[in-house]
C-alpha cells in the first residue's frame, strides 16, 4: 500500500499502483465507464478490466460490475441473441497495420437520423481493429470512393487489400479505377452470404449495440456515432488483447473516467517535466513494434482457439452432382451478426 497526498494506492500484479476507491467513488467510476460519454455498455468482465487498466481498485470490483451490468436497463433491452452456426469459421488475418480493411454498409436505418441520413459506411482494419465510419443519406459508388480517399488513404496510407460484399456501391467502375490506380486488391464475399466478411460484420454488431443503448430520441444516432467510435477504439479487443487506440498510437488514451478520479499513472504524467515526458513518449514509440507483434501473436492464438471451438458444433454437409438442395433466398440483410 502507498499513502500519497491523502490518497491510498494499492500495488497490483497487472498494474503498478491503483487508486483505492470508496463505495460512492466506485459507483461513479462504474457509471462513467459503462454508460458515460465513451461508455460502450460492455459486459461486466470487460468493464472490470477497463477499470483495472484505468488504475482503480476496490475489493468487490468484479461483483459490483456484474451487478451493475445485470441491472442496466439498456443492456437488458438490447441483449444480443446468440445463434449456432452450421458452417466452419474461416478467419482472415493481416500481416501489419492498415494493410487490409473490411468494408460494409448498414441500412436503411429506420427511423432516419434528424439530418436525413439512413446509412452508415464502416471500415475496419484487420490488424489493429481500428474502425472508421461515415453516415450517409444515400449510398453510391462515389461515396465509397470518397470515404476511402479521405478517411483511409490520406490518414493511414495505401492498403494492400480491401474486402467487401458484392453490392453495386462497392462493385463499380469508380472502385475499379481507384484500386487500379493504387494497386489495391479488392476481395468480394459470396453474393448470397455477405456475412462472410466477418471482421466488419463483428465491428458493426458492436457499434449498433452501443448506439442502441445510448441514443435518446431514435433520430440522434448520427450524433452519437462519434461517442460510439470513441468507446469502441478505447475498449480492449479480445483477439489482440489491446485497444485499437494503443495499437495505432502506442499509448493509452486519457478518458473522462481518468479525469473524474485521476489514477496515479495519469496524475504522475501531469507533473513530469517536458523533457522527461518526451523521453517517455519516445520510449513508447520504440516499444510499439513489439506491442503490435504481441498483438499479432495473441490474435493468431485466439483465431485458432475460436476455430477449434467453433468446429465442435459444425455438421458438415456433402453434396454430389445432381443432388436436389434448398437454398435460402435472402436478398436483404437485417442487422449484422458478427462472426
Walk me through the domains of the chain, giving residue ranges and CATH numbers: 2-78 (1.10.340.70), 100-312 (3.30.420.10)
Task: Please provide residue 289's backbone torsions phi and psi, each rounded to the nearest 5 degrees.
Answer: -60, -45
- Structural contact between residues 53 and 15, judged by C-beta atoms closer than 8 angstroms: yes
Average pLDDT over every residue of 284-301:
84
Task: Please provide residue 326's backbone torsions phi and psi, each rounded to the nearest 5 degrees.
Answer: -105, 135
How far apart are alpha carbons 161 and 115 in whole angstroms? 33
Cα 105-108-113 angle, rounded to 5 deg: 105
Angle between helices 61-71 and 44-54 (to 10 degrees): 130
Summarised one tens digit per residue, pLDDT across range 103-123 is: 999 989 988 999 999 999 999
Summarised one tens digit per residue, pLDDT across range 222-238 is: 999 999 999 999 999 98
Whether this prediction's pTM lies above 0.75 is answered by: no
Enumerate residues 6+ apart whose C-beta is below 8 A from 47: 30, 33, 34, 65, 68, 69
> Distances from the Cα of 70 to the Cαs of 43, 246, 257, 331, in angstroms?
9, 29, 21, 36
Q: Which set of grid coordinates corresponds to residue 23?
A: 463505495
Cα 308-62-32 angle, rounded to 5 deg: 105
84 pLDDT more than 60: no
Average pLDDT over every residue of 172-192:
89
Amino acid at each position: 500500500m502507498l499513502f500519497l497526498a491523502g490518497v491510498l494506492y494499492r500495488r497490483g500484479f497487472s498494474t503498478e499502483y491503483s487508486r483505492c476507491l470508496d463505495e460512492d467513488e466506485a459507483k461513479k467510476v462504474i457509471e462513467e465507464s459503462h454508460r458515460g460519454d465513451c461508455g460502450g455498455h460492455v459486459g461486466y468482465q470487460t468493464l472490470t478490466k477497463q477499470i483495472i487498466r484505468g488504475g482503480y481498485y476496490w475489493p468487490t470490483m468484479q461483483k459490483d460490475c456484474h451487478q451493475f451490468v445485470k441491472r442496466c436497463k439498456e443492456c437488458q433491452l438490447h441483449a444480443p441473441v446468440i445463434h449456432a452456426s452450421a458452417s466452419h469459421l474461416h478467419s482472415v488475418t493481416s500481416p501489419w497495420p492498415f494493410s487490409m480493411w473490411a468494408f460494409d454498409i448498414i441500412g436503411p436505418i429506420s427511423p432516419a437520423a434528424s439530418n436525413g441520413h439512413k446509412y452508415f459506411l464502416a471500415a475496419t482494419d484487420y490488424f489493429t481493429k481500428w474502425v472508421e465510419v461515415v453516415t450517409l443519406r444515400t449510398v453510391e459508388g462515389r461515396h465509397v470512393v470518397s470515404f476511402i480517399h479521405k478517411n483511409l488513404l490520406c490518414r493511414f496510407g495505401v492498403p494492400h487489400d480491401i474486402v467487401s460484399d458484392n453490392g453495386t456501391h462497392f462493385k463499380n467502375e469508380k472502385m475499379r479505377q481507384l484500386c487500379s490506380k493504387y494497386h489495391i486488391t479488392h476481395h468480394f464475399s459470396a453474393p448470397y452470404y455477405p456475412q462472410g466478411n466477418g471482421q466488419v460484420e463483428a465491428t458493426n454488431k458492436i457499434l449498433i449495440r452501443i448506439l442502441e443503448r445510448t441514443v435518446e430520441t431514435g433520430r440522434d444516432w448520427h450524433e452519437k456515432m462519434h461517442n460510439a467510435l470513441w468507446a469502441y477504439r478505447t475498449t480492449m479487443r479480445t483477439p489482440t488483447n489491446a485497444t485499437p487506440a494503443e495499437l495505432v498510437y502506442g499509448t493509452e488514451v486519457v478518458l473522462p473516467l481518468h479525469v473524474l478520479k485521476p489514477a496515479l499513472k495519469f496524475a504522475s504524467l501531469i507533473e513530469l517535466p517536458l523533457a522527461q515526458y518526451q523521453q517517455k513518449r519516445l520510449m513508447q514509440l520504440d516499444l510499439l513494434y513489439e506491442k503490435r507483434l504481441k498483438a499479432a501473436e495473441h490474435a493468431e492464438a485466439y483465431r485458432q482457439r475460436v476455430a477449434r471451438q467453433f468446429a465442435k458444433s459444425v455438421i458438415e454437409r456433402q453434396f454430389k452432382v445432381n443432388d436436389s438442395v434448398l437454398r435460402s433466398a435472402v436478398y436483404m440483410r437485417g442487422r449484422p451478426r458478427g462472426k
